[in-house]
Chain A
Amino acid sequence: MPDLLAVDGLHAWYGESHVLHGVDFVVRQGELATLLGRNGAGKTTTLRAIMGIAGRRRGSVRFAGAELIGLPSNRIARMGVGYCPEERGVFASLSVEENLLLPPPVRPGGLSLDEIYTIFPNLLDRRRSQGTKLSGGEQQMLAIARILRTGATLLLLDEPTEGLAPVIVQQIGAVLRSLKERGFTMLLVEQNFRFAATVADRHYIVEHGRVIDAIDNAALAANEAKLHDYLGV
Chain B
Amino acid sequence: MFSWLHIAMPPAPALFAQLLVGLINGSFYALLSLGLAIIFGLLNIINFAHGAQYMMGAFCAWFLLDWWGIGYWPALVIAPFAVGAVGIAIERLLLRRLAGLDHLYGLLLTFGLALVIEGLFRQRYGSSGLPYTIPAELIGGKNLGFMFLPVYRGWVVVFSLTVCLATWFVIERTRLGALLRAATENATLVQAFGIDVPRLVTLTYGAGVALAALAGVLAAPIYQVSPLMGANIIIVVFAVVVIGGMGSILGAIVSGFALGLIEGLTKVFYPEASNTIIFVIMALVLLVKPAGLFGRAA
Q: Which residues of A contact B (CB under 8 A)?
A: 51-53, 72-74, 76-78, 83, 85, 89, 91-94, 98, 101-104, 106, 147, 150
With a CB–CB cut-off of 8 A, which chain B residues contact A73?
188, 191-192
Min distance, Cβ A230 to any Cβ of chain B, angstroms: 29
**CA separation between A73 and B184, bound complex, in Å?**
17
| A-facing residues in B167-209 (Cβ within 8 Å) | 175, 178-179, 181-182, 184-186, 188-197
**CA separation between A85 and B189, bound complex, in Å?**
8
User: Contact at A89–B194, with CB atoms within 8 Å?
Assistant: no
User: Other than the known A91-B185, A94-B182, A106-B194, what 20 A-B pairs have Cβ atoms closer than 8 Å?
Assistant: A72-B191, A73-B188, A74-B192, A74-B196, A74-B197, A78-B194, A83-B189, A85-B192, A91-B181, A91-B182, A91-B186, A93-B184, A94-B178, A98-B178, A101-B178, A102-B182, A102-B193, A103-B193, A147-B193, A150-B194
Min distance, Cβ A186 to any Cβ of chain B, angstroms: 16
Given contacts A85-B189, A91-B185, A93-B185, contact A77 B178 (CB under 8 A): no
User: Contact at B192–A102, with CB atoms within 8 Å?
Assistant: no
**How many contacts A-B (CB < 8 Å)?**
58
**CA separation between A51 and B194, bound complex, in Å?**
11
Size of the B side of the interface (Cβ < 8 Å), in residues, is 18
User: Contact at A93–B194, with CB atoms within 8 Å?
Assistant: no
With a CB–CB cut-off of 8 A, which chain A residues contact B194?
74, 77-78, 103-104, 106, 150
With a CB–CB cut-off of 8 A, which chain B residues contact A150?
193-194
Chain B: which residue is nearest A79 at the CB level?
Answer: B194
User: Contact at A89–B175, with CB atoms within 8 Å?
Assistant: no
Min distance, Cβ A23 to any Cβ of chain B, angstroms: 19
**CA separation between A52 and B193, bound complex, in Å?**
11
**CA separation between A74 and B190, bound complex, in Å?**
8
With a CB–CB cut-off of 8 A, which chain A residues contact B195?
74, 104
> Mind listing 27 A-B residue pairs with CB under 8 Å?
A53-B188, A73-B192, A74-B191, A74-B193, A74-B195, A76-B192, A77-B191, A77-B193, A78-B194, A91-B181, A91-B185, A91-B186, A92-B185, A93-B181, A93-B182, A94-B181, A94-B182, A101-B175, A102-B178, A102-B182, A102-B190, A103-B193, A104-B193, A104-B195, A106-B194, A147-B193, A150-B194
**CA separation between A77 and B196, bound complex, in Å?**
11
Where chain B touches its partner, the secondary structure class is helix
Chain A: which residue is nearest B193 at the CB level?
Answer: A103
Chain A: which residue is nearest B198 at the CB level?
Answer: A72
With a CB–CB cut-off of 8 A, which chain A residues contact B182?
91, 93-94, 102
Binary flags per residue of B144-186, CB closer than 8 Å to A gives 1, else 0: 0000000000000000000000000000000100110110111
Min distance, Cβ A143 to any Cβ of chain B, angstroms: 10
With a CB–CB cut-off of 8 A, which chain B residues contact A104?
193-195
**CA separation between A8 and B195, bound complex, in Å?**
27
Min distance, Cβ B181 to any Cβ of chain A, angstroms: 4
Where chain A touches its partner, the secondary structure class is loop
**CA separation between A138 and B197, bound complex, in Å?**
27
**CA separation between A92 and B178, bound complex, in Å?**
11
User: Contact at B178–A83, with CB atoms within 8 Å?
Assistant: no
Min distance, Cβ B97 to any Cβ of chain A, angstroms: 17
Chain A: which residue is nearest B186 at the CB level?
Answer: A89
**CA separation between A103 and B175, bound complex, in Å?**
11
Min distance, Cβ B83 to any Cβ of chain A, angstroms: 28
Chain B: which residue is nearest A146 at the CB level?
Answer: B193
Chain B: which residue is nearest A97 at the CB level?
Answer: B178
**CA separation between A89 and B178, bound complex, in Å?**
14
With a CB–CB cut-off of 8 A, which chain B residues contact A94?
178, 181-182
Chain A: which residue is nearest B200 at the CB level?
Answer: A74
With a CB–CB cut-off of 8 A, which chain A residues contact B196?
74
With a CB–CB cut-off of 8 A, which chain B residues contact A89?
186, 189
**CA separation between A77 and B193, bound complex, in Å?**
6
With a CB–CB cut-off of 8 A, which chain B residues contact A101?
175, 178
**CA separation between A147 and B194, bound complex, in Å?**
11
**CA separation between A147 and B193, bound complex, in Å?**
8
**CA separation between A150 and B194, bound complex, in Å?**
10
User: Contact at A77–B185, with CB atoms within 8 Å?
Assistant: no
Min distance, Cβ B67 to any Cβ of chain A, angstroms: 42
Chain A: which residue is nearest B182 at the CB level?
Answer: A91
With a CB–CB cut-off of 8 A, which chain A residues contact B190?
102
**CA separation between A102 and B194, bound complex, in Å?**
10
With a CB–CB cut-off of 8 A, which chain A residues contact B181?
91, 93-94
Min distance, Cβ A105 to any Cβ of chain B, angstroms: 9
